């Protein structure tokens, strides 16, 4: 065994902050690795990327990637990302955050960004609870699941994130578990290359809180469960694509459609109504390309 | 003109040798790589790292085929497979 102190992905992570704070077996690290590999494969220079994260375990992603990254307030990575995109539409803006941040506190921002079809990629790491604050119930917690705020089981039905995104108007929706590392990477690559609101959900184990409280075993047990109970169903209706942690998890690429984006309409409107502003914008773009 | 054809397999094929590279101080002992290695070529090492976890190592005599799945599945950027050092290809 050869001992080496560098890793091939080291040029895209802030190695001075590694090892990261995520628990042993947490899937966020896998999702980050997939994302960084997708960036490398996309051929787009890393300086053209901007990563925006909110609060929570997954919110720390922005601090670990060696890209232009922003750690925003709770639930607000999407408005921040939309602002970035509108200010400089040559940037590839990626929102990398968790389910509690994007869907609970930032739920409205999420559906409205999808409705407007703003040209951003949203990667949501779903671990079924609020991990960082102590395992409270989230809108993604399955019904009857135990969390620290639902000791007698959760009485609420959870959101199906893929269905929510597709119903709100996302042009690309896919879901993978963190065990499907290769598929997750390919999915992120596809989402990065697509125009419009693209959404990738990564199901991650939360060994310290959710798995422990629901007797799902260690992170390794959860990964084995994912291996045995994942059903790949490309093009399935997201409405029927359920996540059942006692049954089957439906994964795959559910939606891949074309729809004019917010930027397209903006340009059209500018060209018609404010042609001098449009000329200014085009000039700015040229400058950006020259840099 | 000679009709004698050159044999296609003139040179002895050299199998590329692969091995895993581990960054032991980053490992948190989740053992995903050990469980999901397609060749079952990894095991926990007998030595602890400074955090008290046992990083993986290649089982003696096992073959790494360089699929790099351990790197993809590692949440801590602590392992990857690559050509063996000294393998001139």
CATH of the domain at A237: 3.40.50.970
Mark whether A128 and A140 lie in a shared domain.
yes
Mark whether A288 and A174 lie in a shared domain.
no
DSSP, collapsed to helix, strand or coil, labels residue A11 as helix
**What's the pLDDT at A105?**
93
Going by C-alpha positions, the residue among A82, A1, B83 that lies closest to residue A72 is: A82
What residues make up the domain containing A290? 261-291
Which residues, in sequence order, are CB contacts of A272 under 8 Å at separation 6+? none
Q: A–B: how many Cβ contacts below 8 A? A: 89
Query: Closest Cα of chain B to A53: distance in Å?
Result: 18
Angstrom distance (rounded) from CA A255 to CA A280: 36
Mark whether A183 and A265 lie in a shared domain.
no
Mark whether A156 and A276 lie in a shared domain.
no
Residues of A in contact with B73 (CB under 8 A): 30, 179, 181
Residues of B in contact with A37 (CB under 8 A): 72
Nearest to A7 among B35, B58, B77 (CB): B77
Q: Is any Cβ of chain B less than 8 angstroms from the Cβ of A202?
A: no
The answer to whether B73 and B27 have CB atoms below 8 angstroms apart is: no
ipTM for the assembly: 0.85
Phi, psi (rounded to 5 degrees) for B86: 95, -10
pLDDT in tens, B22-36: 999 999 999 999 999
The answer to whether B70 and B78 have CB atoms below 8 angstroms apart is: no
Angstrom distance (rounded) from CA A192 to CA A53: 17
Mark whether A87 and A213 lie in a shared domain.
yes
Q: Is any Cβ of chain B less than 8 angstroms from the Cβ of A25?
A: yes
Residues of A in contact with B51 (CB under 8 A): 19
- A1 assigned to some structural domain: no
Mark whether A222 and A250 lie in a shared domain.
yes
Mark whether A97 and A31 lie in a shared domain.
yes
- A3 assigned to some structural domain: no
- A4 assigned to some structural domain: no
Residues of B in contact with A30 (CB under 8 A): 72-75
Residue of B nearest to A32 (CA): B75
Assign B89 a pLDDT band (cuts: 50, 70, 90).
Answer: very low
Question: From the candidates B17, B56, B77, which should be mutated to test the interface with A, based on the most A CB atoms within 10 A?
Answer: B77
> Bigger pLDDT: B6 or A56?
A56
Angstrom distance (rounded) from CA A2 to CA A269: 59
pLDDT profile of chain A (291 residues), mean per 10? 72 92 94 96 94 94 95 95 91 94 94 96 95 93 94 94 95 96 96 96 95 93 94 94 89 96 91 88 79 67
Would strands B42-44 and B56-58 be described as parallel, antiparallel, or unpaired? antiparallel
Q: Is any Cβ of chain B less than 8 angstroms from the Cβ of A9?
A: yes
Query: Closest Cα of chain A to B61: distance in Å?
Result: 12
Largest CA distance in chain A: 66
pLDDT in tens, B35-82: 999 999 999 999 999 999 999 999 988 889 989 999 999 999 999 998
Nearest to B77 among A2, A13, A185 (CB): A13
Mark whether A100 and A129 lie in a shared domain.
yes
b/e sequence A162-188, b meaning 16+ C-beta within 10 Å:
bbbbbbbbbbbbbbbbbbbbbbbbbbb
Nearest to B19 among A2, A9, A227 (CB): A2
Across the interface, do A219 and B32 touch by the CB < 8 Å criterion?
Answer: yes
Q: Is A230 exposed, middle or buried (0-12, 13-18, 19+ CB in 10 A)?
A: buried
- A55 assigned to some structural domain: yes
**What's the pLDDT at B86?**
63
Would strands A198-203 and B56-58 be described as parallel, antiparallel, or unpaired? unpaired
Answer positive or negative: Cα dihedral of B45, B48, B54, B56. negative
Residues of B in contact with A19 (CB under 8 A): 25-26, 28, 51, 76
Q: Is any Cβ of chain B less than 8 angstroms from the Cβ of A27?
A: yes
**What's the pLDDT at A100?**
92
DSSP, collapsed to helix, strand or coil, labels residue A172 as strand
Domains in chain B: ranges and CATH:
27-83 (3.30.70)
Beta bridge partners of A150: A147
Mark whether A186 and A254 lie in a shared domain.
yes
Query: Closest Cα of chain A to B67: distance in Å?
Result: 11
Mark whether A140 and A271 lie in a shared domain.
no
The answer to whether A22 and A125 have CB atoms below 8 angstroms apart is: no
Question: From the candidates A3, A7, A40, A217, which should be mutated to test the interface with B, based on the most B CB atoms within 10 A?
Answer: A7
* Number of domains into which chain A is organized: 2
- A5 assigned to some structural domain: no
Mark whether A267 and A203 lie in a shared domain.
no
Mark whether A116 and A97 lie in a shared domain.
yes
């Amino acid at each position: 065994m050869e001992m080496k102190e560098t890793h091939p992905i080291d040029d895209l992570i802030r190695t001075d902050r590694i090892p990261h704070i995520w628990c042993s077996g947490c899937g966020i690290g896998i999702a980050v690795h997939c994302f960084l590999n997708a960036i490398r494969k996309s051929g787009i220079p890393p300086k053209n990327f901007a990563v925006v994260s909110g609060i929570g375990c997954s919110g720390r992603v922005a601090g670990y990637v060696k890209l232009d990254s922003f750690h925003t307030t709770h639930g607000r990575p999407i408005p921040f990302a939309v602002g970035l995109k509108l200010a400089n539409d040559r940037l590839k803006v990626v929102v990398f955050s968790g389910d509690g941040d994007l869907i609970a506190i930032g739920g409205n921002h999420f559906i409205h960004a999808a409705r407007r079809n703003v040209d951003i990629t949203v990667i949501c790491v779903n671990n079924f609870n609020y991990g960082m604050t102590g395992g409270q119930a989230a809108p993604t917690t399955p019904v009857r699941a135990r969390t620290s705020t639902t000791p007698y089981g959760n009485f609420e039905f959870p959101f199906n994130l893929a269905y929510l995104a597709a119903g709100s108007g996302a042009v690309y929706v896919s879901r993978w578990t963190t065990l499907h590392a290769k598929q997750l990477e390919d999915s992120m690559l596809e989402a990065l290359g697509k125009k419009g609101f693209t959404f990738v959900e990564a199901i991650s184990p939360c060994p310290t809180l959710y798995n422990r409280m629901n007797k799902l075993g260690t992170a390794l047990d959860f990964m084995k469960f994912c291996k045995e109970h994942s059903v790949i169903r490309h093009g399935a209706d997201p409405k029927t694509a359920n996540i059942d942690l006692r049954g089957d998890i439906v994964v795959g690429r559910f939606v891949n459609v074309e729809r004019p984006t917010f930027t397209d309409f903006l340009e059209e409107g500018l060209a018609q109504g404010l042609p001098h502003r449009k000329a200014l914008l085009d000039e700015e773009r040229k400058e950006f390309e020259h840099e | 003109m000679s009709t004698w054809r050159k044999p296609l397999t003139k040179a002895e094929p050299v199998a590329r040798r692969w091995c895993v590279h581990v960054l032991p101080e980053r490992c948190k002992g989740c053992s995903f790589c050990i469980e999901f290695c397609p060749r079952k070529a990894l095991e926990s090492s007998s030595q602890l790292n400074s955090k008290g976890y046992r990083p993986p190592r290649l089982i003696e005599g096992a073959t790494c085929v360089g699929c790099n799945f351990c790197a993809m599945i590692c949440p801590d950027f602590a392992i990857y497979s690559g050509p063996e050092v000294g393998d001139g290809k």
